A = this chain, B = another copy of it.
Amino acid sequence: MEILSPPLIDTLRLVLEFIATAAFALSGVIMAARKRLDVVGVCVVGFLAAFGGGTLRDVLLDQRPFFWVRHVEFVWGILALSLAAMVFMRQHHIQPTERAMQWPDTIGLGLFAAVGTDLASALGMPALVAVMMGVTTGVFGGVLRDVVCNEIPQAFRDHRPYALCAFAGGWVDLALRQVAAPEWLPVLACVAVTAGLRALAVWRNWELPAWRI
């Protein structure tokens, strides 16, 4: 990865970010379709799932402008995607399977966790808060999506590690920062650990301890 020139890395990162944002938005559109929302609801829930986590993080950290104000083309993209997905799902009576969403969602969780942890850490937040901000960025888009759709957030009742993967990834990010690694290493490690753990959790069917009835 070191041999990639910086602009190429930047482009790669923006492409990955768009894929991740799109995956999160799609999860919102699917939820909105299940709840038979109208076209406004589909777009709002898609937007919330895509940008809600980062926006909540920026409100808590008092950062402006938001990502979607700086990159308004992402909002157009998410609106177009939401509408296209809605039309497609209406015409074909099919929904993107959960499995098809798994990969972009996993990468998205890793990217968002790394971005959030890094930003909070750069602002001098205590370690635990920085990690929490990474988790918030990755997870709270889905939480807002579920709350607006009148469901208990999946991230809180799924019993399959999701937020916990971002939590672990965040600590790896901060730990590598301590040992003066090259600048890009902690970010990359956070993405890899978060996404890797999540992929493992899905693949090996890991389950968090449940309540006995």
Interface string of A119-130 (1 = CB under 8 A from B): 000000110110
Count residues of chain A with CB under 8 A from any CB of chain B.
50
CB of B156 within 8 A of CB of A72, answer: no
**Complex CA–CA separation, A212 to B91 (angstroms):** 9
The answer to whether B150 and A41 have CB atoms under 8 Å apart is no
Point out the residue from B148, B158, B212 that lies within 8 Å of A153, measured CB to CB: B148
Q: Which residue of B lies closest to A212 (CB)?
A: B90
Q: How far apart are the CA atoms of A164 and B129 in the complex, in Å?
A: 33
| Residues of B contacting A93 in the complex (Cβ-Cβ under 8 angstroms) | 212
A69 touches B129 (CB 8 A): yes
> Bound state CA distance, A198 and B145, in angstroms?
27
At the interface, is chain A mostly helix, strand, loop or mixed? helix
| Complexed CA–CA distance, A62 and B65 (Å) | 9
Most interface-central of A35, A41, A208 (chain B CB within 10 A) = A41
26 intermolecular pairs with C-beta atoms under 8 Å apart: A33-B211, A35-B157, A36-B211, A38-B158, A38-B208, A39-B164, A40-B155, A40-B156, A40-B162, A40-B163, A40-B164, A40-B208, A41-B153, A41-B157, A44-B156, A44-B163, A59-B59, A59-B60, A62-B64, A69-B126, A72-B129, A93-B212, A147-B148, A148-B156, A149-B152, A150-B151
